[in-house]
Structures are given as structure tokens and as C-alpha cells.
Amino acid sequence: MRPPTLGGHEALLYESDDELLGLAIPFVQDGIRDGEPILALLDDQLRDLIHQAVPTASSSPLWTSAPWEGRPARALKSLGERLTLLAGRTTARVRVIRTTPPHILGRTWPAWARYEAAVNTVCGDSVWKLCAYDLRTTPDAVLRDVTRTHPSVISAGERRVQDRYLPPAQFLAEPRSVVTDPLEHRTPDSCLINPTPAQGRAAVTALAAASLTGEDLDGLILAVSEVVSNASLYGVPPVTLSTWAGPDRVVVTITDLGKGPDNPFAGLLPEGRDAGGLGLWLTHQLCGLVEMYRSADGFVVRLTAGNTSTMA
């Protein structure tokens, strides 16, 4: 079973491992045959099975395998860089095939839905990107977002153009429901009004050191500094920084009375440098989970570092 040939950003929905292989293997075979570079962002099992079925793949200069990037904004940046590199080597179309790790389908999915929308900005006629979703494990709410962020869907070997698809800016501008972290149900461990970036860094350092280490801790401290600076420069005072620490994660919210950035791509692309766009982009690169939303209290940036997959 071969996927219909077209291109762009497509979702590949499957209900069995054999069905996935039946679509993924021809996708790789045809790419090698046609001289099209292939970027594989796959789990170990599927990559090994493809190498068994297509022995020339692993040794082909057209084949590039890369690990899964665990943060949406980093993944978007990495994808853009890799596509630019591959496109510089050939005039042929670039193929990308990606499996979906189960852990992104829960707590962090809204952030990955934003990634899926923004990917359309880098997948034009010169890129064919297949994002594989297992229908046995993908929640209905996720599938609804999939059909709204992919112009077309391949299922059972047939392509369906999505009437529900929204252009990236329109999807990203929509308000999304926000799930409160259970840590936020209690009084904050610390709360600062109109802090300086240095005061924000100090407060988070003192609180988070017991729960976080390494990149998680360093990234959160720098992210807090960026967001506090942005809120102070571009928001409406007062700026409130609240922090909560749990055994496996730290949650920080920075709230101001403004409406937040107008750019729907804020945080995903380094745009709007004169209105805090670069700072928000750096924040998304640094912190495990970044959520931005408008509430009755104003514009909120919520940072979660450590275990971002659950909120137990």
C-alpha cells in the first residue's frame, strides 16, 4: 500500500503496526528511488523495521535520522534548520516522516498542537511531511486538532482534504482551554509584585533548587528572567510572579494586566523583536512547557519545568 503522492504537511492515521509499515516503507522507498532526501524522526522500532525492509536506507546519503526533540519550539527550530540544510544539497523535494511519542498526547498536547499548526509555515511544495498518529492510542480531542492543523489526512491508503483545516495564524489565534496545575490550587510558595528580572531569578533559584537540577533548573531561571523583562517592558503593571514547587516540577506564572502579544506565532518563531517576540521565543526554547493565555486577571505566561507530562 503506497501513500498517494502529493506533498505538504499531512497526517498519517493508522490502526495497526502493519498498516503503518505498509505506508512508511513505500514512502521511504519512493524517496530513495526519486532522489529525494528523507528526514526520519522515528521511534527506534519503526526505524529498525524500515532499515530491514529497505536495507539501502541506512547507508544512503539521502537518509537522515534525527532524535525526537522534546520541546515544541525547539522541534520547530530544529526542523527548519534541517530542512534548510537538506534543501541546500539538492533541488529535489525533501520528505519527512515522523512518529508521535505517546507522552505528547496528554498534558503537553496543546503546545504540540501549536507546533503542528506552525509547521505549515515551513512545509511548502518543496517538503512532504508525514506525521503518523496511532488511532488506537490518540485521544479524540487530539485527532480534532490534527484535522485542523494538517491540510490533508492519509488513512487506509486514501487521502482526504480536510474541510476543518485552519491556516496557521487562524488556528494559533484561537483561545484554548487551560488546565490548571494542581499545584496552583494552593497558596503560592512565593509571590512578588513588579519584580525585576534579577529578583525573579533569585526567587525561582531559591524555590526550585530542591525540585530541579541541570538544564531544567537553568532553563527555568533564564525563562523567568525573559518573561519578567517582557512583562515589565511591554505589559501593563502590576506584574505578578507566583511560584509553586512540587516534588517533580515547578510552576511559575507571570501575569500582567495587558492583553499579551498580537502575533499568533509568538513563542514559536523569533518574530516581533520590538514587542518582546524574541524574548518569548527564547523562553520557549529554554523551558520544558510554556503556556500563554488571557484570563480575568490579564495576560498569563505559565512556565512548567521538570515533569511536564502529568499534573499529579
CATH 3.30.565.10: which residues of the chain? Answer: 182-306
Task: Tell me which residue of 143, 180, 30 sits closest to 97, measured CA to CA.
Answer: 30
Angle, helix 72-87 to helix 277-286, in steps of 10 degrees: 100
Give just the sign of the alpha carbon dihedral 262, 268, 272, 274.
positive
Task: Tell me which residue of 119, 113, 115, 146 sits closest to 132, measured CA to CA.
Answer: 146
pLDDT for position 96: 96
Contact of 40 with 63, CB cutoff 8 Å: yes
Contact of 213 with 306, CB cutoff 8 Å: no
pLDDT for position 90: 74
Round to whole Å and give the CA distance between 72 and 273.
20
CA-CA distances (angstroms) from residue 244 to 180, 193, 250? Answer: 12, 16, 6
What string of pLDDT tens digits covers the 312 residues of the chain? 555 556 689 999 999 999 999 999 999 999 999 999 999 999 988 999 999 999 888 788 889 988 888 899 999 999 999 998 888 777 789 999 999 999 899 989 999 999 999 999 888 778 999 999 999 999 999 999 999 999 999 988 789 998 999 999 999 999 888 889 999 999 999 999 999 999 999 999 999 989 999 999 999 999 999 999 999 999 999 999 999 999 999 999 999 999 999 999 999 988 754 555 788 999 999 999 999 999 988 999 999 999 988 655
pLDDT for position 124: 75
pTM value?
Answer: 0.91
Provide the CATH number for the domain formed by 8-173 in this structure: 3.40.50.300
CATH class of residue range 182-306? alpha beta
Q: How many residues does the chain have?
A: 312
CB proximity list for 200: less than 8 A, separation 6 or greater: 192, 224, 225, 228, 241, 254
Contact of 250 with 243, CB cutoff 8 Å: yes
Angle at 38 between CA 7 and CA 71, to 5 degrees: 90
pLDDT for position 172: 96
Residue 7: its H or E element: none
Q: What is the DSSP string of 57-124?
A: TTT-TTEEE-PPPSSHHHHHHHHHHHHHHHHTT-SSPEEEEE---GGGGSTTHHHHHHHHHHHTTT-S
Q: Classify residue 279 by its DSSP letter.
A: H
If you compute the radius of gyration of the chain from its CA atoms, what whole number of angstroms results? 21
CATH 3.40.50.300: which residues of the chain? Answer: 8-173
